Amino acid sequence: MKTANQETLYGKNPQQLAALCLEEGLPRFAAGQIARWLYKRHTEDPAQMTDLPAAVRTRLAQRFTAALSAPVRVSESADGTRKYLFRTRAGHPIESAYIPEAERATLCVSSQAGCRMGCRFCATGRQGLQQSLPAEEILNQIVSLPERDRLTNLVFMGMGEPLDNTDEVLRSLEILTAEWGFGWSPKRITVSTAGVVPQLRRLLDATKVHLAVSLHNPFPEERAAIMPVERAWPVAEVVRVLREYDFTHQRRVSFEYIVLSGLNDTPRHVRELCRLLNGIPCRINLIRFHRIPESPYFSPPDEEMIRFRDALTARGIQTTIRASRGEDIQAACGLLSTQEKARQ
Ligand code: SF4
């Protein structure tokens, strides 16, 4: 009988497939054949891999369990945003948000069920970490999405801290961007991090994807009060690492900034942001705070968001206000899965 712990074929990279072919007595080129079935045709069922010998197909079917599974729930917003709930093989609910716009369609994927970073403004942080997702469960959110063929962009900004699951996130990025894999341009992918410094260089060295850093406050003590990660890896250290890399050509860096009324949106914060980011070609994305239950934080009124944006722009930092999407369907990351956990 198959169990949740069984190995999956989906999610393996060419080196792993080559090792498998060796074990199965297949020629090395069979690794490429299997990769094509998995990542071009998106089938993981060995029975359909008709260019492999029948006996091998039977053995693979016995050996590997299915990785791909459809979402178990969907909520649709009036603005077209859809939040999908997937269940991991270990049974944890995870969220993906599909965000269609005029000229692009973005999927926000989760890299973990829950998160251990504990950001105070985040419903996922309150859950704690239940599970880091293997590459196949990250990829499943894309492959099993009903709108898969419409996707233009991917952001790792769902549940979890991608750099707290770096090995599997890198494997999923390899499969997404390699010619033998999905063949996506890295320019279509953004990985967001709260700033896990030891893993940041790995990501920047191993990939060409865009980077988003969750900043939210430029002052160490104030940031630590809402983001405990600041105590382990100060954002000043993150910025020092970023200065070693080129963000002028192929890849971009942006800073995510949830605006919390009265807490991080004063002229003092404008000045410190400019000092901290001085000389880094970047953009700041201002984000409205999506309320979560029993939270002391509030988003400022629109006119104050605009004033804050204009103050940063006037000092030379490209700053945008991100459009709020899916407000009516538990837009804050982690709320839907928190409800699902309560329901179980
Ligand atoms: Fe984790 Fe991101 Fe939430 Fe912070 S904001 S707790 S890093 S999921």
pLDDT in tens, 197-230: 999 999 999 999 999 999 999 999 999 999 999 9
Measured from the Cα of 123, ligand 1's closest atom is 3
The pLDDT of 226-240, averaged and rounded, is 97
pLDDT at position 334 over 60: yes
Once rounded to an integer, what is the mean pLDDT over residues 92-113?
A: 96
By C-alpha distance, which of 153, 93, 146 is closest to 123? 93
- The pLDDT value recorded for residue 1 is 38
pLDDT in the model for residue 253: 98
Q: Is the CB of 175 under 6 A from ligand 1?
A: no
Domain ranges of the chain: 14-63, 73-343
**Spatial contact of 181 and 175, defined as CB atoms under 8 Å apart:** yes
Contacts for 193 with CB less than 8 Å, ≥ 6 apart: 161, 162, 163, 199, 200, 203, 211, 212, 213, 214
User: What ligand 1 atom has the least distance to the C-alpha of 115?
Assistant: 1
Task: Find the DSSP H helices in the chain.
Answer: 14-24, 30-35, 54-63, 123-127, 135-143, 166-177, 197-206, 220-226, 229-232, 235-242, 267-277, 302-314, 335-343
Q: Mention the CATH class of domain 14-63.
A: mainly alpha
CA dist 97 and 255 (Å) reads: 20
Q: What is the pLDDT of residue 330?
A: 64
Pairing of strands 129-132, 153-156: unpaired
**Mean pLDDT (whole number) for 172-194:** 97
* Number of neighbours of residue 310 by Cβ within 10 angstroms: 12
Residues 35-58, mean pLDDT to the nearest whole number: 95
Q: What letter does residue 164 receive in the DSSP assignment?
A: G
**Type of residue at 31:** A
Q: What is the percent of the chain with per-residue pLDDT over 90, rounded to a whole number? A: 89
Helix residue spans in 144-281 (DSSP H): 166-177, 197-206, 220-226, 229-232, 235-242, 267-277
Q: Can you tell me the distance from the alpha carbon of 81 to that of 181, in angstroms, rounded to the nearest whole number? A: 27
Mean pLDDT throughout 90-111?
Answer: 96
Domain 73-343, CATH 3.90.930.60 — does that match? no
Residue 2 has pLDDT above 60, yes or no: no
What ranges in 64-160 are assigned the alpha helix state H?
Answer: 123-127, 135-143
Average pLDDT over residues 80-92: 95
**In the prediction, which pLDDT does 224 show?**
98
Q: N- to C-terminal Cα distance for the chain?
A: 25
Mean pLDDT of 55-67: 94
Kindly provide the b/e burial profile for residues 213-234, where b requires at least 16 CB atoms within 10 angstroms of the residue's own CB. bbbbbbbeebbbebbbbbeebb
- The response to whether residue 119 sits with its C-beta less than 6 Å from ligand 1 reads yes
Mean pLDDT, range 89-96, rounded to an integer:
96
CB 300 within 8 A of CB 265: yes
For the question of whether the overall pTM of this predicted structure is more than 0.85, the answer is yes
**Rounded mean pLDDT, 262-278:** 97
Q: How far apart are CA 252 and CA 266, in angstroms?
A: 26
- pLDDT for 4 equals 45
Mutate to test the pocket of ligand 1, among 111, 112, 115 (most ligand atoms within 8 A of CB): 115
Indicate the pLDDT class of residue 331, thresholds 50, 70 and 90. Answer: low
**Local confidence band at 323 (pLDDT 50, 70, 90 cut-offs):** confident
Residue nearest to atom 6 of ligand 1 (CA): 125
- Pocket residue to mutate for ligand 1, from 96, 111, 161, most atoms within 8 A of Cβ: 161
Is residue 207 within 6 Å of ligand 1 at its C-beta?
Answer: no
Mean pLDDT of the chain: 94
**Strand 73-76 with 82-87, pairing:** antiparallel
What does the DSSP assignment read for 292-311?
A: -TT----PPPHHHHHHHHHH
State residue 290's pLDDT score: 87
Residue 333 is a catalytic residue: yes
Residue 341 has pLDDT above 60, yes or no: yes
**What average pLDDT does this structure show over 115-128?**
94
Among candidate residues 113, 197, 120, the one with its CA nearest the CA of residue 158 = 113
Structure tokens at 189: 């992918």
